[in-house]
Amino acid sequence: MTTDTPDMRTVHVALGSRAYDILIGGGLLASAGDTLARRFPGARAAIVTDENVAVRHAATLKQSLEGAGIATATITIAPGERSKSFAVLQQVVDEVLAARLERGDVVIALGGGVVGDLAGFVSGIVRRGMAFVQVPTSLLAQVDSSVGGKTGINTAHGKNLVGVFQQPGLVIADSDVLDTLPEREFRAGYAEVVKYGLIDRPDFFAWLEANWRDIFSGGSARVEAIAVSCQAKADVVARDEFEAGDRALLNLGHTFGHALEAATGYDSARLVHGEGVAIGMAMAHRFSSRMNLASPDDAARVEAHLSAVGLPVAVSEISGDLPGPERMLDYIAQDKKVSRGSLTFILTRGIGRSFVARDVPASEVLSFLKENLPS
């Protein structure tokens, strides 16, 4: 049992037979072995990680696991989105099988979103499903990608088009490991924290406006921000595990954001995912205001907070050339969340009042893009 304190929180994801806990707090990495030994008695483990994370954290985790009597193989992939490929998938699958792990054994994802997406997919298909544990080491992964069970790889046809829904059996989010993140990466993850406030938690957004500096510096405010974010995502996922409806709310800022990521060729020097989401959220609020759904004051408030933490809010903040409005609309329409050709957006009636808008007229989007894109 875990007793919640300001420095240690447990979020329960209520998914029936696939329910699981998210443990959040400082120092959890070093005690992960005991935690896993209690929850997966007799299991062995494969740690999947990338070269960057391995240097910082793999020894701590491996030592903790083996200290708790859990035999552990470590599988290291190259860092970056390019590892979300069929080739690396097959390689990691082969290494898990070579380690002779069985169905009750555990695949552990130690890393950010790429490692989690890939290792989760591997755990979902080896022996038609092994146990899976997420140990996210980026803020983005702790508050977003490690929760909800989406896993996958990219193909030439687009990102995340191949994968499975594979819920972890446990998520261990050590808030201290975020101290080693580059500031830009922490900020990008913070965009997703803001998103939960903007979807349906206006009080949380106000709390973020007041406390964001404490979150960036660590301690109990950071634990609180992660816990509320995980709870927010868990609530949506529990309502709609397989993305048939409400789960689309989590795409707030993502339709514009994904289009911008595609338009910049997924070049992280120009734009990382969380920055695209920040601009996308600002645009979603401005677009909602333009459609007379929300007050321009709300859009201004969102921009003010994102700007205060150092996140971009306008397309003009992206370096280099961008395609024109028509081409950008193509990127939006190719987004896989666009159902059967109609344009679906997450729009808002104000701070914390987002909703799924289907059949948004493409002409309105195009006019808006013309106003927002540098000419």
Residue 165 found at the interface with a copy of itself (CB under 8 A): yes
Per the CB < 8 A criterion, the answer to whether 175 and 24 are in contact is yes
**Residue type at position 280:** G
Verify whether residue 128 is a known catalytic residue.
yes
DSSP string, 225-289: HHHHHHHHHHHHHHH-TT-SSGGGGGGTTHHHHHHHHHHTTT-TTT--HHHHHHHHHHHHHHHHH
Per the CB < 8 A criterion, the answer to whether 24 and 11 are in contact is yes
Question: How big is the CA angle at 260 (ends 254 and 263), to the nearest 5 degrees?
Answer: 140
Confirm whether residue 129 is marked as ligand binding: no
Confirm whether residue 157 is marked as ligand binding: no
Residue 16 found at the interface with a copy of itself (CB under 8 A): no
Within residues 131-160, the interface with a copy of itself by CB under 8 A covers 150-152, 155-158
Verify whether residue 154 is a known catalytic residue.
no
Confirm whether residue 57 is marked as ligand binding: no
Residue with tokens 């006019």: 367
Task: Pick between residue 182 and residue 341 the one whose CB is nearest to a copy of itself.
Answer: 341
Q: What is the nearest approach in angstroms of a copy of itself to the Cβ of residue 239?
A: 15
Candidate segments 69-77, 120-128, 209-217, 297-305, binder of a copy of itself by CB under 8 A = 120-128
Task: Pick between residue 19 and residue 59 the one whose CB is nearest to a copy of itself.
Answer: 19
CA-based torsion, 253, 255, 261, 263: positive or negative: negative
CA-based torsion, 283, 285, 286, 290: positive or negative: positive
Candidate segments 7-15, 163-171, 182-190, 191-199, binder of a copy of itself by CB under 8 A = 163-171
- Interface with a copy of itself (CB under 8 A), residue from 37, 88, 93, 322: 93
Residues 97 and 87: their CA atoms lie apart, in Å, by 16
Residue 342 found at the interface with a copy of itself (CB under 8 A): no
Residue 124 found at the interface with a copy of itself (CB under 8 A): yes
Confirm whether residue 51 is marked as ligand binding: no
Verify whether residue 57 is a known catalytic residue.
no
Residue 82 found at the interface with a copy of itself (CB under 8 A): no
Tokens of 20: 């699981």
Confirm whether residue 367 is marked as ligand binding: no
Confirm whether residue 193 is marked as ligand binding: no
Q: What is the nearest approach in angstroms of a copy of itself to the Cβ of residue 164?
A: 6
Name residues whose C-beta falls within 8 Å of residue 210's C-beta, 6 or more positions apart in sequence.
none
Phi, psi for residue 366 in degrees, rounded to 5: -65, -45
Task: Pick between residue 28 and residue 43 the one whose CB is nearest to a copy of itself.
Answer: 43
Confirm whether residue 189 is marked as ligand binding: no
Task: Pick between residue 83 and residue 231 the one whose CB is nearest to a copy of itself.
Answer: 83
Verify whether residue 62 is a known catalytic residue.
no
Neighbours of 311 (CB within 10 A): 23
Within residues 261-320, the interface with a copy of itself by CB under 8 A covers none
- Interface with a copy of itself (CB under 8 A), residue from 2, 90, 217, 316: 90
Confirm whether residue 254 is marked as ligand binding: yes
Q: What is the nearest approach in angstroms of a copy of itself to the Cβ of residue 244?
A: 9
Candidate segments 68-76, 122-130, 195-203, 308-316, binder of a copy of itself by CB under 8 A = 122-130
Q: Is 74 left (phi over 0), alpha (psi -120 to 50) or beta?
A: beta
Verify whether residue 195 is a known catalytic residue.
no
Verify whether residue 209 is a known catalytic residue.
no
Q: Calculate the alpha carbon distances from 306 to 162, 189, 191, 310 in Å.
A: 32, 12, 8, 6
Name residues whose C-beta falls within 8 Å of residue 36's C-beta, 6 or more positions apart in sequence.
43, 45, 65, 68, 70, 106, 108, 133, 170
Question: How big is the CA angle at 37 (ends 36 and 39), to the nearest 5 degrees?
Answer: 60
Nearest to 164 by CA among 196, 209, 128, 205: 128
111 in helix, strand or coil?
strand
Q: What is the nearest approach in angstroms of a copy of itself to the Cβ of residue 124?
A: 7
Q: Which one of the listed residues 62, 195, 254, 305 is annotated catalytic?
A: 254
Residues with a known catalytic role: 128, 150, 192, 233, 243, 247, 251, 254, 258, 273
Residues that bind a copy of itself (CB under 8 A): 42, 86, 90, 93-94, 97-98, 102, 121, 124-129, 150-152, 155-158, 161-165, 242-243, 336, 339-340
Task: Give the residue numbers of the binding site for NAD(+).
Answer: 113-117, 137-138, 150, 159
Task: Give the residue numbers of the binding site for Zn(2+).
Answer: 192, 254, 273
